[in-house]
Amino acid sequence: MNKALLTGVATLALFAGAAHAADLKFAPGEDSRFNWDSFTQFSEAHGDLKGQTLSIFGPWLGPDKDLFESVLAYFEEATGVNVEYSGSDSFEQQIVIDTQAGSPANIAVFPQPGLAADLAAKGLLTKLPAEAGEFLSEKYAAGQSWVDLSTYAGPDGEKSLYVFPYKADLKSLVWYVPDNFDDAGYEVPESMEDLKALTEQIVADGGTPWCIGLGSGAATGWPATDWVEDMMLRTQPPEVYDEWVTNEIPFNDPRVVNAIDEFGWFAKNDKFVDGGSAAVASTDFRDSPKGLFDSPPKCYMHHMASFIPSFFPEGTELGLDADFFYFPAYEGEDLGKPVLGAGTLFGITNDSPAAEAFIQFLETPIAHEVWMAQSGFLTPYKDVNPEAYANDTARGEGEILTQATTFRFDGSDMMPGKIGAGAFWTGMVDFVGGESAEDAANGIQKAWDAIK
């Protein structure tokens, strides 16, 4: 009998007759895409938790809640722990109230590191064991980036690992229509130099390279922050990006001004953008990719995060009617393959043996593969089976994550709200409207100085 079959038989035997096996999305041992060994080993190590209760509080509602609970079912099956998850669209406010009142859930799911860092500084998060940091460093692509993202100063000022990153989002993408590229004879660029050359070539051929829209109601301007953050990572070492996000270097530092101008190279050239530069701020980001699908195309490329296909024309088949490529790095800068993104971070807000075991569960491939096989999940975990992804699009995005040499969290989300969700947005609108990069940066820094 081969090893795979033996593993499947052992796993099935271990869970035969379990009370809620029917709740499992994928029967243990039956789908060869999954690492059932990790499930079996975890189960054998944590079977003494049966009867305990674990509470988890997070931001996920609706379909995301259902998907997360499909993963939780495997933790319950493996340990016998009863997991109670509750989600809220007011998570950021409620978790502060709960922790300060001394009545939080065992585990909190943070959508932004800044909030977790605040709670750690107040002594309201439990330090994770050193082994968790070693795991991230060894098993996650760009591992030190994830360790740094999860390490905060405690109430004594000493830095420790406080959260475990799980479920990543990807922003460093360019969307295009393969048929349009094929018809024009264009190839996917491998470097930023190639991307700029392609931009100029499309204009020379009589086309328009880019669709860019910054419109988003009261949040108008935010898509430009992704451009600038990507450009910071492609023109400066990650340490400079970190100093910029915390204002250790000012927003009007020449290196930041240069990154804004790099965005302007694309967005402020009337020949490069559908509708000209004047249309950039007034075009809603949800409408901006539609020009890719016109015949003839109004544009050939669109820079946006992995969620944007939700706004493609109905019936668009990803991988055929639309596809993406990695927003490339400068070959001449030698900064590797930086990736900009976001994600969720799990911290222990009310310690218990079940809470500690759950963090260890997130280190198993099965905890990632179950969600990978459904929708809306990416991971930098190098040991998962990429074939577990539900489709080629997710698999390709996951490949970009696992090939990254640097990962950095969305910078505007880590800045004070008045900057990252205020002055940065409006400053970029002013910039595309004609203001210089230096003047826009000066205005943003003035706003930052006002809150210090």
- Residue pLDDT, tens place only, 107-118: 999 998 999 999
Same domain, 7 and 147: yes
**Structural domain ending residue among the three candidates 375, 394, 409:** 409
With tokens 């003035």, the residue in question is 446
Half-sphere exposure of 118 (CA within 13 A, CB side): 15
Q: Is residue 427 predicted with pLDDT exceeding 70?
A: yes
Q: For position 348, what pLDDT does the model report?
A: 98
Q: What band does 2 get if pLDDT is binned at 50, 70 and 90?
A: very low
CA 309 to CA 391: how far, in whole Å?
Answer: 14
Q: In terms of DSSP bridges, do strands 163-170 and 173-176 run parallel, antiparallel, or are they unpaired?
A: unpaired
Q: Give me the mean pLDDT over the 30-41 stretch.
A: 95
CA 358 to CA 140: how far, in whole Å?
Answer: 18
Tokens of 343: 């994600």
- Measured N-to-C along each axis, helices 254-267 and 222-235 cross at an angle, to the nearest 10 degrees, of 120
Same domain, 377 and 445: no
Same domain, 258 and 122: no
Q: What band does 1 get if pLDDT is binned at 50, 70 and 90?
A: very low
Share of the chain above pLDDT 70, in %: 95
Same domain, 282 and 354: no
Tell me, what CATH number does 357's domain have?
Answer: 3.40.190.10
Q: For position 187, what pLDDT does the model report?
A: 98
* Domain limits for position 445: 173-339+410-451
Q: What is the mean pLDDT of the chain?
A: 94
Q: Give me the mean pLDDT over the 301-325 stretch.
A: 97
Torsion angle of C-alpha atoms 30, 36, 39, 44, degrees rounded to 10: 100
CA 428 to CA 447: how far, in whole Å?
Answer: 14
3-class secondary structure, 114: helix
Cα angle, residue 130 at apex, residues 126 and 135 outer, rounded to 5°: 115
- pLDDT tens digits, residue range 211-249? 999 999 999 999 999 999 999 999 999 999 999 999 999
- Produce one character per residue of 347-380: b if its CB has 16 or more CB atoms within 10 Å, e if not: bbbbebebbbbbbbbbbbbbbbbbbbbbeebbbb
Q: For position 50, what pLDDT does the model report?
A: 95
Are 160 and 151 in contact by the 8 Å Cβ rule? The answer is: yes
- Measured N-to-C along each axis, helices 62-79 and 365-372 cross at an angle, to the nearest 10 degrees, of 140
Same domain, 317 and 185: yes
CA 251 to CA 257: how far, in whole Å?
Answer: 8
| 259 phi-psi bin (left φ>0, alpha ψ -120 to 50, beta other) | alpha
With tokens 């990695």, the residue in question is 326
- pLDDT tens digits, residue range 326-356? 999 999 999 999 999 999 999 999 999 999 9
Q: Is residue 12 predicted with pLDDT exceeding 50?
A: no
Q: Is residue 21 predicted with pLDDT exceeding 70?
A: no
Q: For position 47, what pLDDT does the model report?
A: 85
Q: Is residue 14 predicted with pLDDT exceeding 70?
A: no
Amino acid at 215: G
Share of the chain above pLDDT 90, in %: 94
- Does an H or E element contain 55, and which? strand 53-58
Least confident of 20-24, 26-30, 180-184, 280-284: 20-24
- Measured N-to-C along each axis, helices 222-235 and 238-245 cross at an angle, to the nearest 10 degrees, of 140
Q: Is residue 98 predicted with pLDDT exceeding 90?
A: yes
Q: What band does 101 get if pLDDT is binned at 50, 70 and 90?
A: very high
Are 201 and 186 in contact by the 8 Å Cβ rule? The answer is: yes
Same domain, 85 and 188: no
Tokens of 161: 């690992």
Q: Is residue 432 predicted with pLDDT exceeding 70?
A: yes
Number of domains in the chain: 2
Q: Is residue 13 predicted with pLDDT exceeding 90?
A: no
Tokens of 258: 């240069």
Q: Print the SS3 string covering 177-225.
A: CHHHHHHHCCCCCCCHHHHHHHHHHHHHCCCCCECCCCECHHHCCHHHH
Same domain, 28 and 133: yes
Going 237 to 363 to 134 to 104, the CA torsion angle's sign is positive
Going 167 to 172 to 177 to 183, the CA torsion angle's sign is negative
Backbone φ and ψ for 237, nearest 5 degrees, come out as: -60, 155
Q: For position 452, what pLDDT does the model report?
A: 72
Same domain, 345 and 233: no
Same domain, 198 and 330: yes
- pLDDT tens digits, residue range 349-400? 999 999 999 999 999 999 999 999 999 999 999 999 999 999 999 999 999 9
With tokens 């826009």, the residue in question is 440
Amino acid at 181: F
Same domain, 46 and 192: no
Tokens of 402: 């696992």
Choice between 91 and 10, residue whose per-residue pLDDT is larger = 91
CA 248 to CA 245: how far, in whole Å?
Answer: 8
Q: For position 20, what pLDDT does the model report?
A: 45
- pLDDT tens digits, residue range 131-184? 999 999 999 999 999 999 999 999 999 999 999 999 999 999 999 999 999 999
Are 30 and 52 in contact by the 8 Å Cβ rule? The answer is: no
Same domain, 253 and 377: no
Same domain, 77 and 217: no
Are 429 and 213 in contact by the 8 Å Cβ rule? The answer is: no
CA 110 to CA 118: how far, in whole Å?
Answer: 11
Q: Give me the mean pLDDT over the 316-332 stretch.
A: 97
Q: Is residue 185 predicted with pLDDT exceeding 80?
A: yes
